[in-house]
Amino acid sequence: MKAFACVLFLTTLVWAQNIEVPTDSCMWRGAKYGQMNACEPNEIVVGSCGSGRRDDCDSGQWHQLLCCKMPEYTYENCLEYKGEHGQDISCSQQAHDDSMLLQGACGSGLQHDCGGTTHIAKCCHGHLADAKLKSTGTCYWIYGYHGEKIQCNRRDEAAFGRCGSGYKDDCGTEKWHGLQCCQLTTAA
Protein backbone atom coordinates (compact mmCIF):
# COMPACT_ATOMS: atom_id res chain seq x y z
CA MET A 1 0.00 0.00 0.00
CA LYS A 2 2.89 2.40 0.74
CA ALA A 3 4.37 1.79 -2.72
CA PHE A 4 1.00 2.64 -4.33
CA ALA A 5 0.74 5.90 -2.34
CA CYS A 6 4.29 6.82 -3.36
CA VAL A 7 3.55 6.19 -7.06
CA LEU A 8 0.32 8.20 -6.81
CA PHE A 9 2.20 11.11 -5.18
CA LEU A 10 4.92 11.07 -7.87
CA THR A 11 2.30 10.93 -10.63
CA THR A 12 0.57 13.94 -9.12
CA LEU A 13 3.87 15.85 -9.11
CA VAL A 14 4.46 15.04 -12.76
CA TRP A 15 0.98 16.00 -13.98
CA ALA A 16 0.26 19.10 -11.84
CA GLN A 17 2.08 22.13 -13.16
CA ASN A 18 1.96 25.89 -12.95
CA ILE A 19 0.59 27.60 -16.04
CA GLU A 20 1.69 30.93 -17.51
CA VAL A 21 -0.79 33.14 -19.35
CA PRO A 22 0.65 34.67 -22.55
CA THR A 23 0.36 38.47 -22.41
CA ASP A 24 1.28 39.25 -26.03
CA SER A 25 -2.32 39.04 -27.27
CA CYS A 26 -4.62 40.60 -24.65
CA MET A 27 -7.47 43.05 -25.08
CA TRP A 28 -9.97 44.90 -22.91
CA ARG A 29 -13.52 43.74 -23.70
CA GLY A 30 -16.22 46.07 -22.44
CA ALA A 31 -19.96 46.36 -22.10
CA LYS A 32 -22.68 48.78 -21.07
CA TYR A 33 -24.24 48.50 -17.62
CA GLY A 34 -26.62 45.56 -17.33
CA GLN A 35 -25.00 43.60 -20.16
CA MET A 36 -23.08 40.34 -19.77
CA ASN A 37 -19.49 40.71 -20.90
CA ALA A 38 -17.34 37.63 -21.51
CA CYS A 39 -14.02 36.63 -22.96
CA GLU A 40 -13.89 34.55 -26.13
CA PRO A 41 -13.68 30.73 -25.80
CA ASN A 42 -9.88 30.80 -26.32
CA GLU A 43 -9.28 33.67 -23.85
CA ILE A 44 -8.71 33.77 -20.10
CA VAL A 45 -9.57 36.68 -17.74
CA VAL A 46 -6.64 38.41 -15.99
CA GLY A 47 -8.02 41.91 -15.30
CA SER A 48 -11.12 44.06 -14.89
CA CYS A 49 -12.49 47.57 -14.75
CA GLY A 50 -15.66 48.72 -13.01
CA SER A 51 -17.58 52.00 -12.96
CA GLY A 52 -19.78 54.02 -10.71
CA ARG A 53 -22.88 55.50 -12.29
CA ARG A 54 -21.12 56.66 -15.46
CA ASP A 55 -19.15 54.94 -18.24
CA ASP A 56 -15.86 55.34 -16.38
CA CYS A 57 -13.96 52.45 -18.00
CA ASP A 58 -14.11 53.89 -21.53
CA SER A 59 -16.71 55.75 -23.57
CA GLY A 60 -19.88 53.64 -23.52
CA GLN A 61 -18.35 51.00 -21.24
CA TRP A 62 -19.34 50.53 -17.60
CA HIS A 63 -17.32 47.38 -17.04
CA GLN A 64 -14.47 45.60 -18.78
CA LEU A 65 -12.50 42.37 -18.64
CA LEU A 66 -8.88 41.98 -19.72
CA CYS A 67 -8.93 38.86 -21.89
CA CYS A 68 -5.71 37.13 -23.01
CA LYS A 69 -5.59 34.60 -25.84
CA MET A 70 -4.27 31.29 -24.62
CA PRO A 71 -3.54 28.54 -27.15
CA GLU A 72 -5.58 25.37 -26.57
CA TYR A 73 -7.72 27.04 -23.83
CA THR A 74 -11.46 26.40 -23.74
CA TYR A 75 -14.18 26.57 -21.11
CA GLU A 76 -17.43 24.73 -20.38
CA ASN A 77 -20.08 24.06 -17.72
CA CYS A 78 -20.67 27.71 -16.83
CA LEU A 79 -22.75 28.94 -13.91
CA GLU A 80 -23.78 32.49 -13.07
CA TYR A 81 -23.66 33.83 -9.51
CA LYS A 82 -25.45 37.04 -8.54
CA GLY A 83 -24.11 39.55 -6.04
CA GLU A 84 -25.31 42.68 -4.30
CA HIS A 85 -23.44 45.97 -3.83
CA GLY A 86 -19.93 45.24 -2.54
CA GLN A 87 -20.27 41.46 -2.42
CA ASP A 88 -17.16 39.48 -3.36
CA ILE A 89 -18.14 36.57 -5.59
CA SER A 90 -15.48 33.86 -5.60
CA CYS A 91 -16.23 31.27 -8.29
CA SER A 92 -14.47 28.47 -6.43
CA GLN A 93 -16.24 29.24 -3.12
CA GLN A 94 -19.67 29.62 -4.71
CA ALA A 95 -19.35 26.34 -6.62
CA HIS A 96 -17.29 24.54 -3.94
CA ASP A 97 -14.92 23.72 -6.80
CA ASP A 98 -11.38 25.13 -7.20
CA SER A 99 -11.56 24.61 -10.96
CA MET A 100 -14.18 27.32 -11.59
CA LEU A 101 -12.59 30.39 -13.21
CA LEU A 102 -14.15 33.78 -13.95
CA GLN A 103 -15.04 33.91 -17.63
CA GLY A 104 -17.56 36.76 -17.77
CA ALA A 105 -19.33 39.43 -15.74
CA CYS A 106 -22.22 41.85 -15.69
CA GLY A 107 -21.85 45.22 -13.97
CA SER A 108 -24.42 47.85 -13.00
CA GLY A 109 -24.57 51.59 -13.33
CA LEU A 110 -26.74 53.34 -10.74
CA GLN A 111 -29.29 50.60 -10.02
CA HIS A 112 -29.64 46.80 -9.92
CA ASP A 113 -29.11 46.60 -13.68
CA CYS A 114 -28.00 42.96 -14.00
CA GLY A 115 -31.31 41.14 -13.95
CA GLY A 116 -32.38 42.70 -10.64
CA THR A 117 -28.99 42.44 -8.94
CA THR A 118 -25.84 44.59 -8.82
CA HIS A 119 -23.40 42.26 -10.54
CA ILE A 120 -23.03 38.74 -11.89
CA ALA A 121 -19.96 36.53 -12.17
CA LYS A 122 -19.97 33.93 -14.95
CA CYS A 123 -17.87 31.03 -13.67
CA CYS A 124 -16.71 28.14 -15.87
CA HIS A 125 -14.46 25.09 -15.89
CA GLY A 126 -11.34 26.00 -17.84
CA HIS A 127 -9.34 23.49 -19.85
CA LEU A 128 -5.88 23.74 -21.34
CA ALA A 129 -5.58 21.09 -24.04
CA ASP A 130 -6.86 17.96 -22.20
CA ALA A 131 -6.07 19.18 -18.67
CA LYS A 132 -8.54 20.89 -16.37
CA LEU A 133 -7.23 24.15 -14.88
CA LYS A 134 -7.65 24.96 -11.21
CA SER A 135 -6.38 27.22 -8.47
CA THR A 136 -3.33 26.20 -6.42
CA GLY A 137 -5.11 27.82 -3.45
CA THR A 138 -2.76 30.83 -3.52
CA CYS A 139 -5.27 33.64 -4.04
CA TYR A 140 -5.75 37.33 -3.18
CA TRP A 141 -8.19 40.15 -3.90
CA ILE A 142 -7.27 43.46 -5.55
CA TYR A 143 -9.62 46.45 -5.78
CA GLY A 144 -9.89 49.54 -7.93
CA TYR A 145 -11.37 53.02 -8.05
CA HIS A 146 -14.22 53.58 -10.52
CA GLY A 147 -12.69 53.54 -14.00
CA GLU A 148 -9.39 52.05 -12.80
CA LYS A 149 -8.12 49.05 -14.73
CA ILE A 150 -6.70 46.38 -12.43
CA GLN A 151 -5.07 43.07 -13.25
CA CYS A 152 -3.45 40.07 -11.64
CA ASN A 153 0.15 40.65 -10.55
CA ARG A 154 1.80 37.60 -12.10
CA ARG A 155 1.68 35.71 -15.40
CA ASP A 156 0.83 32.41 -13.68
CA GLU A 157 -2.44 33.83 -12.28
CA ALA A 158 -5.96 34.29 -13.61
CA ALA A 159 -9.28 35.69 -12.33
CA PHE A 160 -11.40 33.46 -10.10
CA GLY A 161 -13.85 36.05 -8.74
CA ARG A 162 -15.15 39.61 -8.86
CA CYS A 163 -16.70 42.34 -6.70
CA GLY A 164 -19.08 44.97 -8.07
CA SER A 165 -20.75 48.15 -6.86
CA GLY A 166 -23.47 50.57 -7.79
CA TYR A 167 -22.55 54.23 -7.81
CA LYS A 168 -20.84 54.12 -4.39
CA ASP A 169 -17.58 52.49 -3.26
CA ASP A 170 -19.32 49.37 -1.97
CA CYS A 171 -16.33 46.99 -2.29
CA GLY A 172 -14.50 49.02 0.40
CA THR A 173 -13.34 52.57 1.00
CA GLU A 174 -12.56 53.99 -2.46
CA LYS A 175 -13.05 50.51 -3.96
CA TRP A 176 -15.70 50.29 -6.68
CA HIS A 177 -14.74 46.89 -8.07
CA GLY A 178 -12.49 43.96 -7.25
CA LEU A 179 -10.86 40.92 -8.76
CA GLN A 180 -9.83 37.65 -7.12
CA CYS A 181 -6.57 36.37 -8.62
CA CYS A 182 -5.32 32.83 -8.07
CA GLN A 183 -2.25 30.96 -9.19
CA LEU A 184 -3.05 28.47 -11.96
CA THR A 185 -2.17 24.80 -12.11
CA THR A 186 -3.56 21.73 -13.83
CA ALA A 187 -5.74 19.23 -12.04
CA ALA A 188 -3.97 15.94 -11.42
Q: Model's pTM, two decimal places?
A: 0.89
Dihedral angle sign, alpha carbons of residues 80, 141, 178, 174: positive
Mean pLDDT for all residues in the chain: 89
Task: For residue 41, count other CB atoms closer than 10 A to its CB.
Answer: 11
Q: Would you say residue 139 has pLDDT above 70? A: yes
61: DSSP letter: B
pLDDT of 116-125, one tens digit each?
999 999 999 9
Please report which helix (H) or strand (E) contains residue 32, including its range: none
- Domain locations along the chain: 2-186
Q: Round to whole Å and give the CA distance between 146 and 167.
A: 9
